[in-house]
Amino acid sequence: MHAGQLSLDPKHHETLFFWHFASKYTSDKPRTVIWFNGGPGCSSLIGAWTEIGPFRFQDENTIIENDGSWNMFANLLFVDQPVGTGFSYIDTDSRIHELNEMANHFLSFLDRYIEVFPELLQNDIYLAGESFAGQYIPYIAKEILTKRSNLKLRGLLMGNAYIDPMTIEYDLICNHWATEKMMDAMAWNNRTGFDMGNGRLAPL
C-alpha cells in the first residue's frame, strides 16, 4: 500500500492525490483497477472506504478488512481528480471545466505515476467508477487509446453511470417528480424544498 501527491504544475503547487493497494493474491496476469467517484468533485476515497477498498471503519476507532474488496486479484488505484477534489490541490482559482481538459490532465498524472511506479506498464488496466464517472471514464479511455498506446487498457467498469444527462434529468423531472406531485409543492411553496437524502419534501 502506498499513497501520496504527485506534482503536475510546481508553479501553482498543483498535485493529484492517489492511494494504491496491491492485489492480495497472485493471479494469471497483473491487473490494476483505477477507480473514480462521481460528483463532479467527489473524492475517490469514498470508493476506497465505503465500496471496493480493502478496509472499512467498524466504528470511529476500529478498522476491519472488507471481504468484498476488489483487491483480492487486482491492484486498486484511487485518484482524487480533477484537481481541487479531495486531497488534490492547486493554489489558484483555476479549475478544470471541460471533460477533454480533464482527460488530458489525467494523462499527465499517469505519466508522472509511471515515472515513479513503472510496473503499471506491465498491468492490464481497467477504468472503473460510478455516477459522474460515467462522463470521466469514456473521455479518459479515448485519450489513453489515442495517445498512450503503451498502456494496456483492457476494459471499462461503470455502475449507475451518469452517461446520458438529458434522458436522466427528463425522466427524473417529468416522470418521477411529476407523478409524486413534488414539483407542484416546490413551485408554489417557497418555504419547502426537496430533501434528496431522504426522498421527501422538507421545510427549509
117-164: per-residue pLDDT in tens?
999 999 999 999 998 888 899 999 999 999 999 999 999 999 887 777
Place of cell 481497467: 126
Q: Give the architecture-level CATH label for domain 2-163.
A: 3-Layer(aba) Sandwich (3.40)
3-state secondary structure of 77: strand
Query: How much is the average pLDDT of 164-192?
Result: 58
Question: Which helix or strand (DSSP H or E) is residue 21 part of?
Answer: strand 14-21
**Which range (3-12, 64-73, 118-127, 173-182) has the least confidence?**
173-182
pTM for this model (two decimals): 0.80
> Helices then strands (H, E): number in the chain?
6, 10
pLDDT above 80 for 11: no
Range(s) within the chain of domains with CATH label 3.40.50.1820: 2-163
Stated as kind and residue range, the H or E segment containing 140 is helix 133-147
Predicted pLDDT at 178: 55
